[in-house]
């Protein structure tokens, strides 16, 4: 998703849609992702680009216990500064490449753990108690 700077100077906002399906191929916890709806509002001040983005994306994440798909809807806002000053988050380049920047925000905003509604602890084995003859030995080993 490349945007030429001369396009941004003519407008104050931009609505985009981008499909991140290729980017999630290396992500083990995102099973599928629908095209992201991106709204950008921007302003040029003293040679720097101040951008507010809002992203809405629906995806299926892998359950942390069962790996079953769990639908997840994400909405977030982010403020970014493009320029060469110390306050800038990213360099101001022409064209402006937003694909990796927004995908990085998606990865940062998604939950690290998510559970399927049917995932429960009964799917996992309970710890077995040792034979009474070895109970004292088990206590020593666990220390």
**What's the pLDDT tens digit per position in 108-127?**
999 988 888 877 765 556 66
Q: In the chain, which stretches have pLDDT less than 50? A: none
| pTM listed for this prediction | 0.74
Residue 67's nearest CA partner among 123, 143, 12 is 123
So what's the pLDDT on residue 123?
Answer: 54
Instruction: Map tokens 């402006």 to a residue.
Output: 96
So what's the pLDDT on residue 10?
Answer: 78
User: For residues 92 and 96, what is the distance between their CA atoms, to the nearest angstrom?
Assistant: 7
Task: Kindly report, residue by residue over 75-89, the tens digit of the pLDDT.
Answer: 999 999 998 888 889
Task: Give residue 67's region: left, alpha or beta (phi > 0; psi -120 to 50).
Answer: left
CA distances from 16 to 22, 53, 88, 102 (A): 17, 11, 23, 12
């Amino acid at each position: 998703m490349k945007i030429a700077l001369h396009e941004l100077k003519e407008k104050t906002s931009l609505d985009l849609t981008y499909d991140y399906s290729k980017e999630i191929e290396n992500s083990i916890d995102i099973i599928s992702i629908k095209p992201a709806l991106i709204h950008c509002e921007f302003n040029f001040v003293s040679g720097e680009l101040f951008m507010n983005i809002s992203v809405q994306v629906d995806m299926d994440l892998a359950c942390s216990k069962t790996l079953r798909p769990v639908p997840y809807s994400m909405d977030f806002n982010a403020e970014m500064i493009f320029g060469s000053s110390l306050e800038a988050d990213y360099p101001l380049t022409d064209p402006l490449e937003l694909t990796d920047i927004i995908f990085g925000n998606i990865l940062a905003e998604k939950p690290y753990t998510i559970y399927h509604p049917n995932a429960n602890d009964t799917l996992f084995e309970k710890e077995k108690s040792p034979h009474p003859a070895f109970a004292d030995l088990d206590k020593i080993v666990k220390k």
